[in-house]
Structure 1
Amino acid sequence: MHMTSAPHLLTEDRPEFDRLLDEALRTANERPELAALGERLNAEQLRTMAMGASAILTAAAAAEYNHFVKVREDLRDEALTASGRAGEHQDDGQDGGAGVSAIVAVLAPVLAGTAMLIFLLVGYSLKMLDPEPAFAKTMLTAGWLFGALTVAALLFAVIGLLVTAVRNSSTEVAAEETVVIPDELSRAREAWRNALLERGIMPFLRDALADPSTRPGSPVRRLPSSRMPNLGYTAPDFTSPGTSGGATRPGYSPPDFTSPDFGGPEHESE
C-alpha cells in the first residue's frame, strides 16, 4: 500500500477554517441548498459535525492550500533576508558611534561620581585636622568640580536615551506603515478560501441536510467520491476465503491400507 501525507492545516490557518464555517452557517438562509437548516439539524449541530470532518473538508482544497502556503513561505524568506541585510548595513554605520556613546554615557557618571566622593571625603577629613593642611581646600575644590561633571554626565546620558528612544519609535512607525500584503499572496489566499468553501464546506453541509439518516452524533460522513481528493493511497486487495484468486488447492490422497491377511514378502507360502 502506497500512501502520501494527507493535507492538514497549519495552526495559524485553523482560525480561517473556523471563520469560513461560521460564515457559511450564518448566511445559510441566503443559499437555497441550505434551506433545510433547523428542521432536523441546527447550526451548532452542523458546526460540530463539520469540525469533526475538518480533515476531509480541507483535503478538498489541498492544491490551493499548498500553493497558498508556498507563496507565504517564499515571501517570509524574502522579508527575512532583506531585513537581515538592512540590519547589517545599519549596524555597520552605527556600531562605532553608538558604541562610544554608550561607553561614555555609562562610565562618565560613575567615574565622576566616584572621584567626587573621594576628593570630598579626603578634603573634609583634612579640614578637621589642626592645623589645617594647605591642600585641604584644593581637595574640596576638586571634589565639587567632579560633582559638577557628574551632573553633566547624567544629563548627557538622559538626553542620549531620549534621542535613541525617539529614533527607534520613528523607525518602527515607518516600518508598520509600509507593511502591505502582496497581491500574489492575497490571490492565493482568496483562491484557497473559495475552494475550501465551495468544494469542502458547502457540499458537506448540503449533503448532511439532504440525508435523512444523518443525526447529531452520527459517524462523520465522507464526501461523495466525485468530490473526494486523491490522497495518494489505495486500499489493500483482500479476497474472501472462498475465492480461489487463480491459486490451485493442494492435492490430497488417502494412505494406501492393505488387509490384515497380507503380511509382506517374508510370509509368502512355501
Structure 2
Amino acid sequence: MNSAPHLLSEDRADFERILDEALRNAHDRPDLAEIGRRLNAEQLRTMALNATELIAAAAAAEYQHYAKIREDARSPVLAASSVRESVLDAEDDDPPGSGAGLGAVVTVLLPILGGTAALIFLLVGYLLKALEPAPAFADSMLAVGWFFAAVTVLGLLGAAVALLVTALRNSATQLPAQESPGRELPDEVARAREAWRHALLERGILPFLRDALADPSAHPTTPGPPRRVKHLPKIGYSRPDFSSPDEGSTDGQRPSFSSPDFTSPDFGGPDHQPD
C-alpha cells in the first residue's frame, strides 16, 4: 500500500500516546539504546510528529479496518439521534393552548400562589385570635389558611412527580456519549483498535526511531519515511561568474562604425553617364 488515509483528529491522541510510551520505555530495548547520545527523546518525538502520516502508513490496513468497525458501531447512535429529534419536533408542533402547556403552568404556579395565600390567611387569623375578644371570623381565616397550606403541599408533590416523569422520558431518548479513552469500547472495536495500535508501534514507530538513531544525517526538524531517514538536501545558489572579456581577444572588442562615404555623382554630358 503506497498511501494511507489521514489520521482523524480523535486518533492523533492515540498516536502521541503510543509514541510517548515507546520513548519512555526505549532504554529497555537494545535497538534503541542510542537515545540520548546524539538525539534525545524530545528530538526524536519532534521528528516522529513531523512524519505522522508516513509512520501511520505502515499500519494503514489495520487503521482502515478499525475506522470502519468504529463507524459501524456508531450507527445505532445516529439512529437514536434521529428518533430523539423526531420526538422533539413532535413536541414543538403541539398547539400553544394544549393541555401539556396548561399543566406545566399550573404545576409551577400552584405551590407559589397556594403558599402565599396560606401565609397571609394564617398570619391574619392568628393575629385576630390574639385579640380580646377574638372576632368571630378569626377561625374562618385560619381554616382558609390551612386549606391553602394543604393545596401548596399537593402542588409541591405534583411538581415532583412531573419532574420525575420528565427525567424518565428524557433518559429513554438520551444519546450515549462518544467513546473516550477511559470508557470501555465494544469488544470488536476494542480488538480492532488494539490491532492498529500494535501494528503502528511495531511496523511504524519503532522502525522510524531505529532508523533515526542509525542515520548520522538525521535532523530533528526534518520529516522522513519510517524506513529511511534523510536530511533535506542542502540548497545553495552561487552567483553567476560575470567577468570582463580579455582585452586582447577580438571577441571582446567593441564593433567599430565608420560613416558612409558619400561622394557627389560625376555629372557630365549625355555621353558620360555615371557608372
- TM-score for both structures, normalised by structure 2: 0.56
| Structure 1: tracts of 5 or more residues without a match | 93-97, 128-132, 227-270
1:163-242 to 2 correspondences below 5 Å = 180-214=184-218, 217-223=219-225
Note closer, same or farther for the CA distance 1:137–1:225 as it changes in structure 2 (3 Å cut).
Answer: closer
Runs of 5+ consecutive residues of structure 2 not aligned to the other structure: 91-99, 130-134, 178-182, 229-275
Q: Aligned partner of 1:44: which letter? A: E
Residues 1:142 and 2:144 are matched in the alignment:
yes
User: CA offset at residue 75 of structure 1?
Assistant: 0.8
| Number of equivalent positions | 229
Supply the AA of the counterpart residue of 1:142. Answer: V
SS in 2 for 1:63: helix
Q: Aligned partners of 1:12, 1:224: CA distance in 2, in Å? A: 22
Q: 1:200 to 1:186 in 2, by over 3 A?
A: same
Cα distance 1:225–1:30, how it changes in 2: closer, same or farther (>3 A)? Answer: closer
1:32 is aligned, of 30, 34, 57, to: 30
CA–CA distance in structure 1, aligned partners of residues 15 and 28 of structure 2: 20
The CA distance in 2 between the partners of 1:152 and 1:114, in whole Å, is 14
Alpha-carbon contact 1:110-1:150 (below 8 Å) kept: yes
The one of 7, 10, 13 aligned to 1:9 = 7
1:108 aligns to 2:110 (yes or no): yes
Task: Quote how far apart the aligned CAs of 1:184 are.
Answer: 1.7
SS at match of 1:61: helix
Preserved contact between residue 55 and residue 226 of structure 2 (Cα < 8 Å): no
Provide, for residues 128-175 of structure 1, a one-character-per-residue CA deviation record: whole Å limited to 9, x for no partner. Answer: xxxxx98786566434422332244335545765x669979x99xxx9
Higher helix residue share: 1
Query: What SS class does the counterpart of residue 60 from structure 1 fall into?
Result: helix
For the residues of structure 2 that align with 1:142 and 1:87, how far apart are their CA atoms? 47
Distance 1:167 1:185, change over 3 A: same
Partner of 1:148, secondary structure, is: helix
Query: Residues 113, 209 of structure 1: CA spacing in aligned structure 2 closer, same or farther, 3 A cutoff?
Result: same
Shift of residue 36, structure 1, vs aligned partner? 2.1
Q: Percent identity?
A: 58
Cα distance between partner residues in 2 of 1:187 and 1:65: 12
In structure 2, C-alpha distance between the alignment counterparts of 1:86 and 1:219, rounded to whole Å: 49
In 2, are the aligned partners of 1:203 and 1:223 still within 8 Å (CA)?
A: no
**Cα–Cα, structure 1 residues 204 and 146, in superposed 2: closer, same or farther, change >3 Å?**
same
Verify the 8 A CA contact 2:23 2:41 in the aligned structure 1: yes
Matched residue of 1:222: which SS?
A: coil
- Structure 2 CA distance, aligned partners of 1:159 and 1:224? 63
Deviation, 1:180, is 4.9
Larger Rg: 2
TM alignment of 1:143-162, pairs within 5 A: 143-155=145-157, 157-158=159-160
CA distance 1:119–1:14, change in 2 (3 Å): same
TM-score by length of 1: 0.57
Rounded to whole Å, the distance in 2 between the matches of 1:224 and 1:105 is 67
Whether the 8 Å CA contact 1:113–1:147 is kept in 2: the answer is yes
